[in-house]
Chain A
Amino acid sequence: MRRITLWLLSTVTVLVLLFSYQASLSTTHAASNSPAPVTSPSPATSPQAGADAGSASDSASGASGDAAATQSQTFIGDAVNTRYGPVQVQIVVSGGKVVTSEVTQVPWNDHKDIQINSYAVPILNAEAVAAQSAQIDMVSGATYTSDAYITSLQSALDQAGL
């Protein structure tokens, strides 16, 4: 289990993107310095590392719990400071796959009304994420061809629904 976990943590790059959606007519983003706080789940977030950096908890998802693959583990990443405030990501790993990922700490927690218009979207390495956990349904981008589709985020989202 530990090997799987370490493999995951070393291969999965968790990108937390913060979005601030204003209802203005025109919104401009600067892509190159966009708020893309990268929380690379380094070994510091593994359960074996110091408790000061992150924490993890075991929870048996299956009734039997006889195999590691039926267990799910929850990992909570370090809080990362972004220009919007601190962000923290929690991922649940089961059977060697990231099954859910969610942002547990967002800068606008005290603004409930902002929920509809603002999203913190964790986007994980396409190989590792079950796309239904990413908090987006579809992706709009400059026109792409069938060749480019294979590696696209939209493709991952489609796979989740196929």
Chain B
Amino acid sequence: MSGRAAWVEHIMGMPISIHVRGSQPRGEAVTAAVRSVFGHLRKVDAVLSTWRADSDLLRLQHAEVAPGSEDVHDWIAEVTSLCLQAEERTDGLFAAWRVLDSGRIAFDPTGVVKGWAVASASAYLAEVPDIAWSIGAGGDILCGAGRLLGGQAPVWRIGIQDPADAGRCVDVVGVAVGAVATSGNAIRGTHVRDPRTGGVVDRAGSATVVGPDLVWADVWATAAWVDPQRCARLLAERDPAYRLITVAA
């Protein structure tokens, strides 16, 4: 478990970093799995991008293809279902649908797509014997161990970025197998809306959620960014395996 290797590719407009620890971190099995992870994420982007006009999602939204058409990938249905679950589980603090000023309803599943895509893609790494891995996707982290890993999976030390200074961290959490997701305005500017008011959440600070599954850590982090107090109560009731870390301004 001594060696380390890292790969970075830019997919979905964000850096995807894969770090591997193991006795042979650049072995053939690892590099093949890493290629497959990146390949999977590129495929997800082609299907679910909200930026590429030729994605299945946008062709569907622009009525260029009919819902249920064979041209539409099954992933659309899978992600839509996850969005519905997320809205229900967070009592509407997370919402993928919103009514535009024009009255049209916009569907933006990006809040679940990243976590879902990384979690799915990680299956390739989970198949590689005797490694531990960590994937960073634009600020969200998923850690895990490969098949047959001897002994205990090593702990990855995940720094929680200071929202006021990207070069610093305000906390570190240790994760062997699990996810860390952060929501805030730090780098991308204001981009999360409060589904209850429709307004953007515009304040300093950030919300981080640590837990077993990246999809839900990500959803809860978004919900916590919208309403930290309410989210903390919901988490305690519904998802006690997830831990909330808020950074105040």
Assuming the contacts A31-B162, A153-B161, asked whether A137 and B15 have C-beta atoms less than 8 A apart, the reply is: no
Contacts of B163 in A (CB 8 A): 31, 141-142
Report the separation of the CA atoms of residues A45 and B163 in the bound assembly, to the nearest whole angstrom: 30
B158 near A137: Cβ-Cβ < 8 Å: yes
Contacts of B48 in A (CB 8 A): none
Contacts of A148 in B (CB 8 A): 166, 187-188
A140 near B188: Cβ-Cβ < 8 Å: no
Residue of A with least CB distance to B156? A137
Interface string of A106-118 (1 = CB under 8 A from B): 0000000000110
A28 near B246: Cβ-Cβ < 8 Å: yes
A30 sits at the interface (CB 8 A): yes
A152 sits at the interface (CB 8 A): yes
Measured CB to CB, the closest approach of chain A to B196, in angstroms, equals 21
Contacts of A36 in B (CB 8 A): 162, 168
Residue of B with least CB distance to A119? B172
By secondary structure, the B interface counts as strand
Measured CB to CB, the closest approach of chain B to A149, in angstroms, equals 4
Contacts of B158 in A (CB 8 A): 136-140
Interface string of B150-170 (1 = CB under 8 A from A): 000001111111111011111
A25 near B244: Cβ-Cβ < 8 Å: yes
The residues in B between 127 and 173 inclusive whose CB is less than 8 angstroms from any CB of A are 134, 136, 138-141, 143, 155-164, 166-173
Interface string of A143-155 (1 = CB under 8 A from B): 1111011011111
Chain A, interface residues (CB within 8 Å), range: 35 or more
A140 near B247: Cβ-Cβ < 8 Å: no
Binds A, one of B3-11, B65-73, B79-87, B118-126: B3-11
Report the separation of the CA atoms of residues A139 and B186 in the bound assembly, to the nearest whole angstrom: 13
Binds B, one of A3-11, A14-22, A68-76: A14-22
Measured CB to CB, the closest approach of chain B to A40, in angstroms, equals 14
| Subset of 25 A-B contacts with CB under 8 Å | A15-B168, A17-B169, A19-B170, A19-B172, A25-B244, A29-B171, A29-B248, A32-B249, A126-B167, A136-B172, A138-B157, A140-B136, A140-B180, A141-B163, A142-B188, A143-B139, A145-B187, A146-B15, A153-B166, A153-B168, A155-B8, A157-B6, A158-B19, A161-B19, A162-B7
Residues of B at the A interface (CB closer than 8 Å) are 4-8, 10, 13-15, 17, 19, 114, 134, 136, 138-141, 143, 155-164, 166-174, 180-188, 191, 204-206, 208, 232, 235-236, 240, 243-249
7 further A-B contacts with Cβ under 8 Å, apart from A141-B160, A141-B163, A151-B166, are A21-B173, A25-B243, A117-B174, A135-B172, A138-B141, A139-B158, A160-B6
